[in-house]
Structure 1
Amino acid sequence: MSVVSGRFELTEVEYVQIASLLPVMKPQRGGRWRGHRQVINGILFRVRTGVPWRDVPSRYGPWKTLYKRFTRWQEDGTWARIEAALQADADAAGQLQWHGNADSTIVRAHQHAAGARKGG
């Protein structure tokens, strides 16, 4: 399969960075699994554009495959492992800023806006 290069797709360097964190591809029920890279590219397309799963272009594979792999990886912690590894790499390279701001502004609402009974 040739790798389609698009604006929502992983580069070779990006994919190599996360490939070892992905589950081993074991086809279930005798089927042939879609490659992880193709599926991740489809998931990225869906996440970045906000389209419904059914509207992801078919070049990424069946939408049900994308959805099932996305939810399976959410449940088994694959996405969390990828995020933690990428964050650690970026931090080690000095690419993260850990300074943040918190705003504690309080806005008072009228008593009726808070659900108080009318007519007291």
Structure 2
Amino acid sequence: MEERGWERGLGDGDAEMVDTAAALQLDQARWDAIVAILPPLVRARAMNGVRTRAFMEAVLWIAVTRQPWGRLPSAWGPWHSIYVRFTRWAQDGIWDEVIASLQSHADIADPLRRLVSDYLLSHHPASVNRRAGPRFTPF
């Protein structure tokens, strides 16, 4: 049986987060829906390893619990690495596709949409404008 990051053990301060982490474990139907829409290179990596699935579950944990990134349970790996990958996906528009694939699962789609939107609006307003199309800005 493959081992997910949260199953390897938790740090001292992470014990109260076990129930939430287990609840956010992606079932096969949700995972298949996500993998189907990923860009080809990301999809190939996701189908051949468990790291992308663990990354996705870590981001969902942040989205649903609304905890700061630094509170991410250490079993998923370094929070900063997960955050950096999250930001790349946000800037590339990958999260939009993931959210669209999860529309029938509002329990995770809505918090994820909020997390991505909050990130883009607060950290990269230019990327939001670029994705929305060109705008005329008066001098």
TM range (shorter): 0.5 to 0.7
Residues 1:36 and 2:37 aligned together: no
Match of 1:2 in 2: 3
Corresponding residue SS for 2:23: coil
Match of 1:53 in 2: 69
Residues 1:66 and 2:82 aligned together: yes
Corresponding residue SS for 1:9: coil
Q: Deviations over 1:27-86 (max 9, x none)?
A: 9xxxxx971100110111111111110110012111012111111111101011122344
Contact 1:21 1:81 in 2 (8 A): yes
Q: Distance in 2 between matches of 1:37 and 1:52?
A: 20
Residues 1:76 and 2:85 aligned together: no
Matches within 5 A, 1:12-23: 12-23=28-39
Corresponding residue SS for 1:6: helix
**CA 1:8–1:86: 2 relative to 1, 3 Å:** closer
Contact 1:38 1:61 in 2 (8 A): no
Q: Distance in 1 between matches of 2:78 and 2:93?
A: 23
Aligned residues: 83
Q: Under a length normalisation based on structure 1, what TM-score does the superposition of the two structures give?
A: 0.58
Contact 1:10 1:41 in 2 (8 A): yes
Which one has the largest radius of gyration? Answer: 1
Greater helix proportion? 2
Gaps of 5+ in 1: 28-32, 91-120
% identical aligned pairs: 31
Contact 2:58 2:72 in 1 (8 A): yes
Contact 2:62 2:72 in 1 (8 A): yes
What is the root-mean-square deviation in Å for CA atoms of aligned residues?
2.6
Kindly provide the amino acid, as one letter, of the partner of residue 2 in structure 1: E
Q: Under a length normalisation based on structure 2, what TM-score does the superposition of the two structures give?
A: 0.51
